[in-house]
Amino acid sequence: MTRRSSSVTIRDVARHAAVSVATVSRYLNQNAPVSQEVSERIQQVMLDLSYKPLAVARNLATRRTQTIGLVLHNMHTDFFAPLLRGIEAVVSEYQYNLLVATYKHTSRPENLSPLGPQNTDGILVYADSFNEEQLIDLCRVKFPVVLIHRTSPAHLKIPFVTVENRTATRKIITHLIETHGRRSIAFLRGPFEQEDSRLREQGYRDALDAHGLIVKPALIIDGEFDQFVAYRNVKKLLSGEGQRFDAVFTGDDEAAIGALRAIQEAGLRVPEDVAVVGFDDSRLSPFLNPPLTTVCAPTEDVGRTAARLLFNLLQEQPAEMATLLPTDIIIRRSCGCPASAAMN
C-alpha cells in the first residue's frame, strides 16, 4: 500500500536548530534539562517544519506502544457500546490508544490473535474471545491482561471484572416466585461458552431449589442472548403441548425482545399470563412493551473498572484479582408489578 513520503525526522529538527538529536529528544520528552534558549529554538524549528514524532519509532525504541487492546468476539449486540464507552473514557484519560478487534478463538490454524504483545502494552479480553491456551501463552510472557465477564482460569492469576450473575438471577427468579406466585418458570440459556450463561442458569436453579420447585428440563431452552433465536424457541415451546409456563427468564434483554414477541403473538398477555424478566438493563429494556423487569448490569462501569485495572498492571501497581460488580434488580412492568414502580 501507500508509502508515505518521508517526512521530517528528529535529525532534521536537530540540524536546523543546530543541536544534537539527543537534545531534541530530551526537549520532546522533558526528561532531562534543556536550556531555555535551546528549548525555544527547538520549538520554533518544530513548528516551522511542522515536525511530528513518529509514534512507531518511539515505540520501538522504548518498547512501549502506548496502546491497549480490546478483544470482543463480535459486535452484534448493543451490549458492547456502554462497555466500550467506559473503556474509552479511561484510556483517553491515560492518554493511551485503544485498539479494538473482534476475534473468536475458534479458527484453529494459526491462532494468530490480532492483539497481543506485538502491538499493545496490555489487553482486555471479553468473555470467551480467547481460549485458555491463549491466555496461558500471554501469562507465560507476563503480558498484562484483564478479563471481562469471565473469571480467571484457576491456575492463572489474571485479574477479571464481571458482574454478579448468580445471586442476581436467583433474586429476580425469587421475585417471580414469591411476589408473583409463578411456579413454572422457563429459562432461556445463553451461549454455553459464556460463563455468564452458566452462572445465570445456576442462579435459576438455586431459586427453584430454594422454593422446592423442581427444575423441568423441558423449560430450559436455548436463547443464545439473541432476539431471533429466542423468538423461535419460545414459539416452539409455546406450541408444544404440556409445556405450560407462567414466567420466563430470558437470559438477557436481547433475548427478551424475541420472547416477548413470541408470547404476545401467541395471544398471551405479559405479564398476566406469562411474566417476563431479562438481564442487563440494556438501553431498550424500559421501552419494551411492557417495560422489562430486568437485572441492571453496570456495563459501562465494568469497562471503566477493567481499564483501570489494566493500567494498574501496566504501572506495576497492585491490582485486585477479582472484581464482581453488584447488580440490582430493576422492577418494571413485565414481571407483574404495577406500572407505578419506576419508569426509568
Q: Is the dihedral of CA 328, 252, 175, 289 positive or negative?
A: positive
State the binding partner of 342 from DNA, a second copy, none, CB within 5 to 8 A by kind: none
Among 239, 190, 246, which Cα is nearest to 216's? 246
Cβ contacts of residue 215 below 8 Å, gap of 6+?
204, 205, 208, 209
Polymer length in residues for the chain = 344
Q: Which residues pair with 248 in a beta bridge?
A: 186, 276
How big is the site for a second copy, counted in residues (CB under 8 A)? Answer: 55
Q: Of 14 and 247, which has the nearer Cβ to DNA?
A: 14
State the binding partner of 37 from a second copy, DNA, none, CB within 5 to 8 A by kind: DNA
Q: Is the dihedral of CA 308, 309, 314, 317 positive or negative?
A: positive
Tell me which residues in 26-55 interact with a second copy (CB under 8 A): 50, 52-55
Q: Of 207 and 262, which has the nearer Cβ to a second copy?
A: 262
Tell me which residues in 4-63 interact with DNA (CB under 7 A): 6-11, 18-23, 25-26, 28-29, 31-35, 37-38, 51-54, 57-58, 60-63
Determine if 121 is a binding residue for a second copy (CB under 8 A).
yes
Among 203, 204, 194, which Cα is nearest to 226's? 194
Q: 173 is written with which cell numbers?
A: 427468579
Q: Which stretch binds a second copy (CB under 8 A): 9-17, 74-82, 145-153, 168-176?
A: 74-82
Alpha carbons within 13 angstroms on the beta-carbon side of residue 52 total 5
Determine if 315 is a binding residue for DNA (CB under 7 A).
no
Helix 253-265 / helix 227-239 crossing angle, nearest 10 deg:
40
Taking the mean position of all CA atoms in its chain, how far away is CA 219? 29
Closest CB 165 distance from a second copy, rounded Å:
23
Q: Which stretch binds a second copy (CB under 8 A): 31-39, 118-126, 149-157, 331-339?
A: 118-126
Closest CB 270 distance from a second copy, rounded Å:
14
Q: 339 is written with which cell numbers?
A: 406500572
How big is the site for DNA, counted in residues (CB under 7 A)? Answer: 33
Helix, strand, coil % over all residues of the chain, rounded to 5 = 40, 15, 45
State the binding partner of 5 from a second copy, DNA, none, CB within 5 to 8 A by kind: a second copy
Cβ contacts of residue 140 below 8 Å, gap of 6+?
none
Tell me which residues in 89-108 interact with a second copy (CB under 8 A): 92, 97-102
Determine if 57 is a binding residue for a second copy (CB under 8 A).
yes
Closest CB 52 distance from DNA, rounded Å:
7
Helix 166-178 / helix 195-210 crossing angle, nearest 10 deg:
40
Determine if 283 is a binding residue for a second copy (CB under 8 A).
yes
Closest CB 63 distance from DNA, rounded Å:
6
CA-atom Rg of the chain in angstroms = 26
State the binding partner of 119 from DNA, a second copy, none, CB within 5 to 8 A by kind: a second copy
In this structure, what are the phi and psi dihedrals at residue 116, rounded to the nearest 5 degrees?
A: 175, -165
- What whole-number distance in Å separates Cα of residue 220 and Cα of residue 185? 9
Among 289, 227, 284, 282, which Cα is nearest to 258's? 227
Determine if 80 is a binding residue for a second copy (CB under 8 A).
yes
Determine if 130 is a binding residue for a second copy (CB under 8 A).
no
Residues contributing to the site for DNA (CB under 7 A): 6-11, 18-23, 25-26, 28-29, 31-35, 37-38, 51-54, 57-58, 60-63
Residues contributing to the site for a second copy (CB under 8 A): 1-7, 50, 52-57, 59-60, 63-65, 67, 75-76, 78, 80-81, 84-85, 88, 92, 97-102, 114, 116-119, 121, 137, 141-144, 283-284, 287-289, 313-316
